[in-house]
Amino acid sequence: MKRVHNFSAGPAVLPLEVLKKAQEELPSYGDTGTSIMEQSHRGKAYSQIDAEAKERLNRILGLDDKFHILFLQGGASQQFMQVPYNLLGDDETADYIDTGRWSAKAITEAEIFGKVHVPFSSADDNYTHVPTSADQLDLTEGAKYVHITSNNTVVGTQLPTEPETNGVPLVCDASSDFLSRPIDVDKYGIIYAGAQKNLGPAGVTVVLVNKEFIKGQADRDIPTLLDYTTHTEKIFNTPPTFAVYMVNLVLEWVEEKGGLDYFQKVNNQKAELLYSTIDSDDFYRGTAKLDSRSKMNVTFRLPSEELEAQFLAEAAKHDLVALKGHRSVGGVRASIYNACPMESVQALVDFMKQFRSENG
């Protein structure tokens, strides 16, 4: 079985242990004689998977039962509209911090439902930096919530920590750094994350809804499926059962490895190894500003587009794949989520040094 070093920005690499277990169990789950894909979402096996995954998230993040844990469909793109549909009344204001392409999309959808104020934007700076201190934020007093994108995959920036909002709940698109480090859950009204970067395959979105925050639902006629409260008490419609099964396996792996403290440490080490290689001279140039660099998506340029194309082609020959930067940025992007092993980062660094010595 051939396996390569996979730096895809998403859908992204999964733990090999998880893939192997899924492979083994695929045609017959446990002693059921049917694939988990072929079983009712109200049956015993799936109900247990659903409950296990939720207990694991509760433990890993320290949610302390303060959140409804929902496995929804539609990705972060659905949450861009589902959040304001549920929570932003016509006359209410939400603050949206604009740190990239995905933040901007969230803003577009929120404007359909209520008032949006943008207390910070790095659009004029090609989104190469994020706010790193409170005085950069022009927050609205009494805002319903402050929306943040904790990590920005395109340019490769990441909020160093939760911004200070003076008690206004955060709503966070955490798709690309979910479970990569500890967070202060009490600051959040909603945390949502498409699974396909740090958590599992595409097709399921984890949505954590603070039980207090949801009490402030907007007074609006909302389709049943989009109403968060439809999903808080029971499984309403058929969930993406196989995707949730995979998420549960990944969560098991996260706990076995040592939880968020472990991943924060290893993710820091992986990022440090890459960034120090980039910074060691001026052949490679990091795309993001130093204080805004992401631990998940490491972006850099080479001296010319020709060298970048050559870099990507030679990297592929060394089984280092999916390194091409987002089309709007160019260059190289190495996505090094939780499941990207240190060995892959080391192989990339070795190749980078060799490439520089041959072409620098």
Neighbours of 272 (CB within 10 A): 12
CB of 245 to a second copy, least distance (A): 10
Bond prior to 11 in cis (omega within 30° of 0): yes
DSSP 178: T
Distances (CA, A) of 159 to 10, 148, 301: 19, 9, 22
Asked whether residue 39 is marked as a ligand-binding residue, the answer is no
CB of 173 to a second copy, least distance (A): 13
Q: Would you say 92 or 319 has its CB closer to a second copy? A: 319
Handedness of CA 196, 201, 203, 204 (dihedral sign): negative
What single-letter amino acid sits at 301? R
Which positions are catalytic?
102, 173, 197
Asked whether residue 90 is marked as a ligand-binding residue, the answer is no
CB of 326 to a second copy, least distance (A): 10
Distant-in-sequence, close-in-space partners of 111: CB < 8 Å, separation ≥ 6: none
CB of 315 to a second copy, least distance (A): 13
Asked whether residue 310 is marked as a ligand-binding residue, the answer is no
Q: Would you say 47 or 73 has its CB closer to a second copy? A: 73
CA pair distance 340, 337, nearest whole angstrom: 5
Helix (H, G, I), strand (E, B) or coil at 302: coil
Asked whether residue 153 is marked as a ligand-binding residue, the answer is yes
> Binding residues for a second copy, per CB under 8 A?
1-4, 6, 8-14, 16, 19-20, 22-23, 26-28, 31-35, 37-41, 43, 73-78, 80-81, 85, 105, 108-109, 112, 194, 196, 201-204, 221, 223-226, 236-243, 246, 319, 321-322
CA pair distance 40, 44, nearest whole angstrom: 8
Query: What number of residues does the chain have?
Result: 360
Q: Which of 305, 360, 296 is nearest to 333 (CA)?
A: 296
Q: Would you say 22 or 218 has its CB closer to a second copy? A: 22
Q: Would you say 106 or 170 has its CB closer to a second copy? A: 106
Handedness of CA 258, 261, 263, 268 (dihedral sign): negative
Which residues are annotated as part of the binding site? 42, 76-77, 102, 153, 173, 196, 237-238
Which residues are annotated as part of the binding site for L-glutamate? 42
